[in-house]
Structure 1
Amino acid sequence: MRNIRLEENTQFTFEDSKFDKLFLAIGSCECHGEHLPFGCDSLVSHQIALDLAERFDDAVVAPPLWFGMSQHYRHQPMCLSLSDDTVVRVVRELLDSALYWGIKKVLIVNGHDGNIAPIEIAARDFKVQNPDFGLAVLDAWWVTAGNLLPENTFEVWNGLGHGGEGETSIGLSIFPELCDMDRAKGQVPEFDTNVKLIWNFDELTPYGASGDPTKATKEKGDAMRQVLVDYLEKYIRHMDAQNWRYGVVK
């Protein structure tokens, strides 16, 4: 029987399954307020990848990367961070490994804002060196989900925030046993929409969480998972049909 978790496969089951796509989830180990677990970003991105792989006969999901570039969150316990340069190297070397074993289609599902820049650097560099490789990145699922859902889904800040309404909702959908809603609290920071101010997280909120996690519900989280996986399935099938070359999903 096909097993979509790479770590649970053997040489025989891997070769017998004839996987041609790898889904790679990348997260972090850092504070998300007092109400969410340190591994939230990895747990979420990995589950999205697993949900997606269930819809394909030729996709396998790598074990999640539990660490990312989290130095801007290290004012609260317990943050285990890699540097930008390390994340670039790790992503690049994982892509090299996939290619070595004949997998030429990779979707990276990122769960943490600090990984966006290093993933972009690694992916661009790898694509230049391997132009026939199919490579796509969901770099900010929390933004994508908000874009896909009806405008009235969220009550505060379109669900955004580190440990905020959206992220807490999807946590309630995936790992409710690890969420302590009695301790949920956050703060919505004020951002200029035209110029990016580079911040450390303690400048935005004293709580370890931004946005408003008290507005989170499992139902919102279920809806986020549904629209994300539905869209990604459509995207992957579209990419397969055109050999993972540039094009817009319609």
Structure 2
Amino acid sequence: MHLADATWTDVDDCDTDLALLPVGSTEQHGPHAPLGTDTLTATAVADAAAEAYDEEVVVAPAIPVGVAEEHRQFTGTLWVSPETFRDYVRETVQSLAHHGFDRVVVVNGHGGNVDALREVTGTISRHDDAYAVAFTWFESVGEHSSDMGHGGPLETAMLRHLAPELVQEDRLDEAREGAADGWGEWVSRVNLAHDSAEFSENGVVGDPAEGDTERGEELLTLATASLVKLLDAVAKRDVRRPDHR
């Protein structure tokens, strides 16, 4: 059940304590892909998992702005501080829990959100009347995960499968020419770069041409299966906190 499409009476009749909360970002993805890529992909994975899961699960509206200041030099990118993002996620989960949806999987589509989500789901589970974990779809697609990049093969593949009309195919050569091979500038296992503009001319990392529609379909299938498995584990988990020793 999608909260945004349901009436409150429909939700009142919903017999589940499970919820999915998609989170993404509004940020540059090169000259060929839309600013809303991360929100679109996170939402699609959440929707697919909710449909595939055997039991009822609530899908909350996506949070579309995340921790993305690393892309600030590229026009249209929006961001909030990690503190604001954590507070927003936490209070959204609290409101879900208020209505009985107190087992929440946050479905993430943006790498910049990962650290903040790990921290806030821990805080929620330790201190609030809810249990939450974070799932990042591109970390759960097997061997494909090593090709993630940014606006690169994985995200372009997902877009070509989910929303091909949003991919500017005539700009792929431009995207490839200005792309970086990897994320950052590394010395002694330290990334010297804080912003993507420091190492990528147009914000792209990786070769988007390697992300075709068939790969996108496979990525969605793999991410969906991983999320369904996680939902089942969250549904069955004893979420009582251990006593102090």
| TM range, smaller chain | 0.7 to 0.9
Name the structure 1 match of 2:161. 173
Contact 2:23 2:107 in 1 (8 A): yes
- The equivalent of 2:65 in structure 1 is 67
In the alignment, is the contact (CA less than 8 A) between 1:32 and 1:162 conserved in 2? yes
Report the TM-score when normalising by structure 1. Answer: 0.86
Amino acid paired to 2:202: Y
Within 1, Cα distance between the matches of 2:104 and 2:12?
17
| Distance across 2 between alignment mates of 1:232 and 1:173 | 19
Percent identity, please. 27
Shift of the 121–212 alpha-carbon distance from structure 1 to 2, 3 Å rule, reads: same
Gaps of 5+ in 2: none
The letter of the residue matching 1:159 is D
CA displacement at 1:245 relative to structure 2: 7.5
| Preserved contact between residue 118 and residue 133 of structure 2 (Cα < 8 Å) | no
Q: Distance in 2 between matches of 1:231 and 1:141?
A: 8
Q: Which amino acid aligns with 1:204?
A: F
Q: CA RMSD in A?
A: 2.1
Q: Is the 8 A contact 2:124 2:132 kept in 1?
A: no
Which residue identity lines up with residue 169 of structure 1 in the other structure? A
Q: Once the 2 structures are TM-superposed, how far is the Cα of residue 173 of structure 1 from its aligned partner?
A: 1.2
**Amino acid aligned to 1:103:** F
**Alignment deviations for residues 69-125 of structure 1 (CA, whole Å, 9 cap, x no partner):** 111101111111111111011011111111111111100011111111222222121
Question: Residues of 1 paired with 2:19 and 2:114: CA distance?
Answer: 19
The aligned residue for residue 139 of structure 2 is: 143
After superposition, the Cα gap between the structure-2 partners of 1:16 and 1:93, relative to the gap in structure 1 and judged at 3 Å, is same
Show structure 1 runs of 5+ residues with no match. none
Deviations 1:191-239 (A, max 9, x none): 5497241521011210121111011101111101101111221222233
| Count of aligned positions | 233
Q: Equivalent residue of 1:102, what SS?
A: coil
Q: Which residue of 2 aligns with 1:163?
A: 151
d(CA) in 2 for partners of 1:160, 1:194: 22
Assess if the C-alpha contact under 8 Å between 2:25 and 2:64 holds in 1: yes
TM-score between both structures, scaled by the size of structure 2:
0.88
